[in-house]
Structure 1
């Protein structure tokens, strides 16, 4: 059973590392033709409906309490309505790789929120990992060809607010009363978050594009966003938040930029420089330090006891 659990955790991390890294490219492609809030709302509602259909076929119990529904609505807003919808909006102003790189600040925000809101001590290995992550981010975003893009400043500010939303949502989910079935939990978050995005689309008077006018690249991008980026990866994300510590889950924001950079370069001709490659190595080193924090801490204690 323990081996099965470890295998499931590994597969879940693969989903949020690799699949979510590709969603920046898919959203960038889709937002070139579709309004951002309509795009994100359609994606999440579709994914949520499919999840409930699958849940019914698998005979999962989908009824939940009022408190659980309220918590699903809150997390749906923090993660999807604001945390994702605004990033899709910002992709009109910044490259997909750039957006993913800025989101890499999330592990530091999570750790700081845990310190200020929960009084949790910041371990030295976590600090080293986060510092390395920020060094890598600086090396990437300080490049002139990124900074000089028109509207990038506004995009950066809005993405930072999304980081705060995701970071707080990660802590909220870890303690909130949510449906015990991760699949059903994801479905409610998708539906409530998607509805909020559709309301936002109507309030901002976005001009909707009928499905018949979508190009093939947009259709394929939406399929990938709904099935893999939505159902598979987000279910894995919710599972990990209840299985491992929030700061470990947040390490996805170190790996996602690497995937996003490679895909953006290959499919959208986004530039990757030598400085970007160096920064990527620094970022991945930061992931290593955060993920091996407990092991190194235990080793340090062992060495300390041995020396007494």
Structure 2
């Protein structure tokens, strides 16, 4: 594959994690208002995993992986999907989809801090500005009166924070772990194993399971879009990018995701966009920009070599 082909693939992959993932907040919010959260996420990921395996076999791609690779995909599936995504879906019952996306936009800040505490990577001056702005932005976002007034919103907000920690740690883990070389196979195993764990979580919490035929039309459509685009297309793109570029560059999807999610939530679900939310978004995303300046990324790249 030529350099231009690789560049085109990287651009398409970034489009998938920028725009498609931005829309998944809306789709999950629609579905979780009718279906139990862990059952919903489990159905999504098990179905997506099986479809990926079927597509891989039809293309003549071997599904054989080593025991170490299997173990690593299980760890990634649990951290990214069972906890990192499943609990966010659960939290969407208590917070707006746009709010959840804005809170998760602090992801690069979490990755930067984890790289500092776990890997001893120095935080550069420009990034320190970003960390400072990120903390102010998060404070403005979560200190809004209508959120503090609702106890359930605070619980949802705290659980999303733990999901961010899980996702950030796993991003660093995956960038160095021994995983299947084929991104399609890698995604399939993560989806399938993550979905199985979610099913066990669902049964453990006593969630009622229903047939897709009993779901409303809008939930059925949301699930199809989540499985095909949100899971197969976007997550395969995500795994590809984690190997093709640095974790901090992949985390820049958080510039676009919250804007897409806010607009879709406002347009389709009449979610309120407050002036404080807009201010928090502007400060938070400016902070993320400082964290991901070219100079900072060049330093990260030097550390990676």
TM-score normalised per structure 2: 0.92
Could you say what secondary structure the match of 1:33 adopts? coil
Task: State how far apart, in whole Å, the 1-side matches of 2:182 and 2:297 are.
Answer: 33
Q: CA deviation at 1:293?
A: 2.7
Q: Distance in 2 between matches of 1:225 and 1:142?
A: 31
2:36 counterpart residue number: 35
Question: Does the CA-based 8 Å contact 2:29-2:92 persist in structure 1?
Answer: yes
Q: Is the 8 A contact 2:108 2:291 kept in 1?
A: no
Other-structure match for 1:201: 202
Match of 1:69 in 2: 70
Q: 1:138 to 1:13 in 2, by over 3 A?
A: farther
* SS of residue paired to 2:52: helix
- Cα distance in 2 for partners of 1:214, 1:285 equals 41
Q: Counterpart of 1:219?
A: 220
Contact 1:94 1:149 in 2 (8 A): no
Aligned residue for 1:271?
272
Q: Distance in 2 between matches of 1:244 and 1:39?
A: 31
Unmatched segments (≥5 aa) in structure 2: 300-305
Verify the 8 A CA contact 1:125 1:290 in the aligned structure 2. yes
* Equivalenced residues, count: 298
Question: 1:14: which partner in 2?
Answer: 15
Q: Unaligned stretches of 5+ in structure 1?
A: 299-308
TM (norm. structure 1) is 0.91
Cα deviation digits, residues 183-211 of structure 1 (max 9, x gap): 11000000000000001111111011221
Poorly superposed stretches of 4+, deviation over 4 Å: 295-298
- The whole-number CA distance in structure 2 between the counterparts of 1:102 and 1:135 is 12
TM-superposition CA deviations, 1:115-172 (whole Å, max 9, x none)? 1111112223333334333433333333323333340111111111111110110011
Pairs within 5 Å for 1:30-179? 30-179=31-180
Alpha-carbon distance, 1:265 to partner: 0.5
**Cα distance 1:157–1:280, how it changes in 2: closer, same or farther (>3 A)?**
closer
Change (3 A) 1:209 1:262: same
Q: State the Cα distance separating 1:297 from its structure 2 match.
A: 6.5
Task: Work out whether residues 102 and 281 of structure 2, in 8 Å CA contact, stay in contact via their aligned partners in 1.
Answer: no
Q: Distance in 2 between matches of 1:129 and 1:117?
A: 19
Partner of 1:186: 187
- CA drift at 1:18: 1.2
Q: Deviations over 1:93-119 (max 9, x none)?
A: 111111112212221111111111111
Instruction: Give the Cα–Cα distance (whole angstroms) in 1 for the partners of residues 296 and 173 of structure 2.
Output: 26
Q: CA deviation at 1:24?
A: 0.8
Contact kept? 2:109, 2:288, Cα under 8 Å: no
Structure 1 residues 117 and 150: CA distance shift in structure 2, 3 A = closer
Residue 244 of structure 2: aligned partner: 243
How far 1:241 moved relative to its partner? Answer: 1.0
Structure 1 residue 295, shift from structure 2 partner: 7.5
Which stretch shifts more, 201-210 or 34-43? 201-210
Q: Is the 8 A contact 1:51 1:231 kept in 2?
A: yes
Deviation at 1:279, TM superposition (A): 3.4
Cα distance, 1:2 vs structure 2:
2.3
After alignment, is 272-281 or 206-215 more displaced?
272-281
Q: Alpha-carbon deviation of 1:240?
A: 1.2
Give the 3-state SS of the residue equivalent to 2:244 in structure 1: coil
Q: After superposition, give the CA deviation of every residue in 1:19-58 in whole Å (9 maximum; x if it has no partner).
A: 1111111111000111000000000011111111111121
What displacement does 1:287 show?
4.1
